[in-house]
Structure 1
Amino acid sequence: MAGNSSRKGAIRQSKKGPSAGTGGKNKKRLTGKGPTPKAEDRPYHAAAKRKKAGEKKATRSPSTRSTSPRATTMTRSAPSRAPRGDRPRGEIVAGRNAVLEALREAVPATELLVARSIDVDDRVAESLKLALHLGLPIREAHRAEVEGISPNSQGIILAIKPYQYSSFEEIMSRAKNPALVVALDGVTDPRNLGAIVRSAAAFGAAGVLMTERRAAAMTASAWKASAGAAARMPIAQVTNLARTIDAAKKMGLFVVGLDGESEETIASMKIAAEPIMIVVGSEGKGLARLTREKCDLVISIPISASTESLNASVATSIALFHIDQARRKG
């Protein structure tokens, strides 16, 4: 059938002739600029710019590159954060006054980080001198690195060594007879913690223990507040204070809680000669309900009606002093 292209072998013939000017291999092909250049060969293309920059970098002579750290800082854009590998691990103390105070108190540290070209005043000079005296490594770094660790560092940072906690069992193993132990129930202020450690050392306590969670840790602030007592006073962290109190009772300790609301005063406590665990509550809430129930005796310290309460460290110091005086009298 004429015009039927569906039969086998049929080929539809185009009625149009060869297209002129298409670049085909005929007499009327285009005479243009040739094939389209690659992207990297086009001057204004991003690929061409990357290629040019790479060639320029490859042909740069190593001898013309400055090896001066200061020149590097000037020509290279400063990183906003310090390289992860160079960041001190654990706690840091930043700022000229804070670092100097920590070094004066011999807070255990791992290194002193100082910014290059730092304006050396009396505080920085003394900090460097103390670090050398303590045998502490001193590392210079770009100011951008130091500020990346702490924006308010004033160009100097002290990396603090993590505190090595003891255990309740170790504290009891070194306790003299009659034992005296201080337990903290939710004390969150590190300065209070340090002051309590200082008082515990002054009045012959075997150690201080506290919970791992919701409590202050032995930070640089706590160490400074202890005035060095933390170096010789065992401090333990426990996971559950109630269970630790039960264990203390089994070891023969008499558990005494401090609470400003108690009707029993410290003057009525007649057990100073016995092994004692003093339990101190938090600054605001005092003893937790379960902790209070676990205590054998809950006492208060009489104060003037015009004063609302004593903070945890002051109350602990008074209680420890009372026990120490009673034991001295026999």
Structure 2
Amino acid sequence: MGRRPHPRNARGQRDAGARPRLYGRHAVLAALANPHRQFRKLFATPDALSALGPLPRRLAVQSGDAADLARLVPADAPHQGLVLEVEPLEGAFLEDLLASPDPARPLVVLDQVTDPMNVGAIIRSATAFGAAGLITQDRHAPSESGALARAAAGALETLPWVRVVNLARALEQVADAGFWRIGLDGSAAATLAQALPTGPVALVLGAEGEGMRQNTRAHLDMLARLPIRDAVESLNVSTAAAIALYATATRPMGPS
């Protein structure tokens, strides 16, 4: 089921400014299929429009050539003949995300990961491996954008995304709900496989280079590393997230 659009004055609403413009076939089709999305206008080339099939009622459509659409998105953005102007989606509520912990559905927590391509890729992997949702700090995470949506390949429309003011406090609530909080750190003594429990898990990742902040580390149950070779200092955060999610999804499951 799709995520809902922002209601006015709802908790977690981002500063609207310009409305997001989603581009690329996967991102646009997923948004059009989300019954909770609010659309403003679809810009499309005639060929891309003819391949779409039935469109939602009252959706304004403007036809143009590829060069026209290119002026609506960042330079060199691969719009594939489709640009959809939308309202931002509503952020999920942390209480709802923590209401029914499921060992098979981890949480992903990002500490100041700001690159929209990385966050979009993490959303895609989180959805692929059955994560329950994403938690980020409100002020140090990217806004919804075309680049993020395209990297998420449609998963932005379905994965619950909680934006919180205080990440440390949110991690306390995560622990109170029964999740084991594991932070990924290349210098940790234990590997992720050794650290993973059989119960609910929250995987915590920090920004590339800087890593997790000290206050975030202070609210973890354990640090763990991925067993990469010394020839590579570290992995891109979205790659590390995908590997961690796979390891979590394939761990032996037994009594908690």
- Place the TM-score, normalised by the shorter chain, in its bin: 0.7 to 0.9
Shift of 1:103: 2.7
Which residue identity does 2:39 align to in structure 1? T
Partner of 1:127: 48
Structure 1 residues 26-37: aligned runs within 5 Å: none
Unmatched segments (≥5 aa) in structure 1: 1-87, 115-122
Answer 1 or 2: higher relative contact order, Cα 8 Å, separation at least 6. Answer: 2
Structure 1 residues 152-301: aligned runs within 5 Å: 158-177=84-103, 180-269=106-195, 271-301=196-226
SS of equivalent to 1:306 = coil
1:160-184 Cα deviation digits (max 9, x unpaired): 2212210111111254256521111
Structure 1 residues 54-93: aligned runs within 5 Å: 89-93=18-22
Q: State the aligned residue count.
A: 227
Contact 2:108–2:203 at 8 Å: present in 1 too? yes
Output the TM-score relative to the length of structure 2: 0.74
CA distance 1:109–1:222, change in 2 (3 Å): farther
CA distance 1:301–1:129, change in 2 (3 Å): same
Shift of 1:189: 1.4
Shift of 1:329: 7.2
1:317 pairs with 2:246: no
1:121-166 Cα deviation digits (max 9, x unpaired): xx71233335663327235599xxx89x859799985312212210
Shift of 1:220: 2.6
Contact 2:30–2:157 at 8 Å: present in 1 too? no
1:262-314 Cα deviation digits (max 9, x unpaired): 23222322x43022111111122111111112111011112122222111111
1:138 pairs with 2:67: no
CA distance 1:125–1:286, change in 2 (3 Å): same
Q: Tell me, in whole angstroms, the C-alpha distance in 2 between the residues paired with 1:131 and 1:289.
A: 48
Contact 1:182–1:278 at 8 Å: present in 2 too? yes
Which residue identity does 1:234 align to in structure 2? P
Output the TM-score relative to the length of structure 1: 0.59
Which has the larger Rg? Answer: 1
Contact 1:174–1:206 at 8 Å: present in 2 too? no
State, as a whole percentage, how many aligned pairs show the same letter: 30
Q: Tell me, in whole angstroms, the C-alpha distance in 1 between the residues paired with 2:74 and 2:177.
A: 49
1:179-204 Cα deviation digits (max 9, x unpaired): 52111101111121122122222222
Unmatched segments (≥5 aa) in structure 2: 1-16
Contact 1:103–1:127 at 8 Å: present in 2 too? no
Structure with a larger share of its residues in helix:
1
CA RMSD of aligned residues (A): 3.3
Partner of 1:84: none
Shift of 1:102: 3.9
SS of equivalent to 1:208 = strand
1:14-53 Cα deviation digits (max 9, x unpaired): xxxxxxxxxxxxxxxxxxxxxxxxxxxxxxxxxxxxxxxx
Partner of 2:6: none
Structure 1 residues 28-47: aligned runs within 5 Å: none
Contact 2:91–2:160 at 8 Å: present in 1 too? yes
Partner of 1:110: 39
Partner of 1:39: none
